[in-house]
Structure 1
Amino acid sequence: MARPAALPLLLLLFLGTGAQNVQVQIPAEVRGLLGSDVTLPCHLQSGEPQIRVSQVMWLRWDRYGGSQSVAVFHPIHGASFPNSGPYDQRMSFVTGNSRETEAELRDASLLLKGLRAEDEANYTCEFATFPWGSSKGATWLRVLAEPKNHAESQEVTLGPDPTPMARCVSTGGRPPARISWFSPLLGEGTEARTAGPVPGTFTVTSRFTLVPTPQADGAKVTCKVEHETLSEPVLIPLTLSVKYPPEVSISGYDDNWFVGRVEATLSCDAQSNPEPTAYEWSTTMGSLPPTAVAQGPRLIIRSVDESANTTFICSVANAVGTSRAEQTIRVRDTPRASTGDVGPVVWGAVGGTLLLLLLAGGAMAFILLRRRRRKSPGEGGAVGSYDPKTQVFGNGGPVLWAPPAPGPTKEEQEEEEEEEEEEGGLMLPQPGAEDDMESQLDGSLISRRAVYV
Structure 2
Amino acid sequence: PPSPFAFSLAQHQGAQDVRVQVAAEVRGNLGDTVELPCHLLPSAPEIRVSQVTWLRLDAPEGKQNVAIFHPQYGRSFPSPKPGKERLSFVNTAPSAGAGQGTELEVRDATLSLRGLTVEDEGNYTCEFATFPKGTSRGVTWLRVIAQPQNHAEKQEVTFNLDPVPVARCVSAGGRPPARVSWLSPLDGEAKETQGSGPLPGTVTVTSRYTVTPLSEADGVKVICKVEHESFQEPKLLPVTLSVRYPPQVTISGYDDNWYIGRTEATLNCNVRSKPEPTGYDWSTTSGVFPASAVAQGPKLIVHSVDRLFNTTFICTVTNAVGTGQAEQVVLVRETPNTAGAGATGGIIGGIIAAIIATAVAATGILICRQQRKEQRLQGAEEEEELEGPPSYKPPTPKAKLEEPEMPSQLFTLGASEHNPLKTPYFDAGVSCAEQEMPRYHELPTLEERSGPLIRGATSLGSPIMVPPGPPAVERVSLDLEDEEEEEDYLDKINPIYDALSYSSPSESYQGKGFVMSRAMYV
| Change in CA separation of 1:12 and 1:283 when aligned onto 2, cut-off 3 Å | farther
2:74 match? 78
SS of the residue 2:9 aligns to: coil
Tell me the number of residue pairs that the alignment of Structure 1 and Structure 2 aligns: 335
CA contact under 8 A between 2:177 and 2:203: conserved in structure 1? yes
Query: Shift of residue 202 of structure 1?
Result: 1.3
2:87 match? 91
1:392 match? none
| Change in CA separation of 1:160 and 1:341 when aligned onto 2, cut-off 3 Å | closer
In the alignment, residue 85 of structure 1 is paired with which amino acid? K
Cα distance in 1 between the residues matched to 2:272 and 2:132: 89
SS of the residue 1:341 aligns to: helix
Query: Shift of residue 124 of structure 1?
Result: 0.8
Cα distance in 2 between the residues matched to 1:244 and 1:63: 59
Cα distance in 2 between the residues matched to 1:296 and 1:70: 81
Cα distance in 1 between the residues matched to 2:180 and 2:43: 51
Match of 2:20 among 24, 31, 36: 24
In the alignment, residue 68 of structure 2 is paired with which amino acid? V
Which is richer in strand? 1
| Change in CA separation of 1:63 and 1:331 when aligned onto 2, cut-off 3 Å | farther
Q: 1:421-440, aligned counterparts within 5 Å?
A: none
Greater C-alpha Rg: 2
Query: Shift of residue 340 of structure 1?
Result: 5.7
Query: Shift of residue 14 of structure 1?
Result: 3.3
TM-score normalised to structure 1 length: 0.71
Cα distance in 2 between the residues matched to 1:160 and 1:88: 63
In the alignment, residue 205 of structure 2 is paired with which amino acid? V
2:214 match? 213
Query: Shift of residue 65 of structure 1?
Result: 11
| Change in CA separation of 1:201 and 1:51 when aligned onto 2, cut-off 3 Å | same
Moved over 3 A (4+): 11-16, 63-66, 97-100, 338-344
Match of 2:10 among 9, 15, 19: 15
CA contact under 8 A between 1:172 and 1:198: conserved in structure 2? yes
1:256 match? 257
| Change in CA separation of 1:38 and 1:132 when aligned onto 2, cut-off 3 Å | same
CA contact under 8 A between 2:257 and 2:336: conserved in structure 1? yes
Cα distance in 2 between the residues matched to 1:90 and 1:299: 81
CA contact under 8 A between 2:224 and 2:238: conserved in structure 1? yes
CA contact under 8 A between 2:256 and 2:331: conserved in structure 1? yes
Q: 1:50-129, aligned counterparts within 5 Å?
A: 50-62=46-58, 66-96=62-92, 98=96, 99-129=100-130
SS of the residue 2:23 aligns to: coil
Cα distance in 2 between the residues matched to 1:41 and 1:88: 18
Cα distance in 1 between the residues matched to 2:8 and 2:210: 49
Match of 2:34 among 33, 38, 46: 38
The higher-RCO structure (CA 8 Å, 6+ apart) is: 1
**Deviation sequence 1:204-226 (CA, Å, 0-9, x none):** 11111111111111111111111
1:449 match? none
SS of the residue 2:115 aligns to: coil
Q: 1:143-154, aligned counterparts within 5 Å?
A: 143-154=144-155
Query: Shift of residue 176 of structure 1?
Result: 1.0
CA contact under 8 A between 2:9 and 2:18: conserved in structure 1? no
1:319 match? 320
Q: 1:53-452, aligned counterparts within 5 Å?
A: 53-62=49-58, 66-96=62-92, 98=96, 99-338=100-339, 341=342
**Deviation sequence 1:318-342 (CA, Å, 0-9, x none):** 1111111111100111111245636
Query: Shift of residue 87 of structure 1?
Result: 2.6
Stretches of structure 2 lacking an aligned partner (at least 5 in a row): 1-5, 350-522
In the alignment, residue 74 of structure 1 is paired with which amino acid? H
**Deviation sequence 1:423-448 (CA, Å, 0-9, x none):** xxxxxxxxxxxxxxxxxxxxxxxxxx
Query: Shift of residue 64 of structure 1?
Result: 7.9
CA contact under 8 A between 1:12 and 1:138: conserved in structure 2? no
Cα distance in 2 between the residues matched to 1:335 and 1:287: 24
Cα distance in 1 between the residues matched to 2:248 and 2:261: 33
In the alignment, residue 222 of structure 1 is paired with which amino acid? I
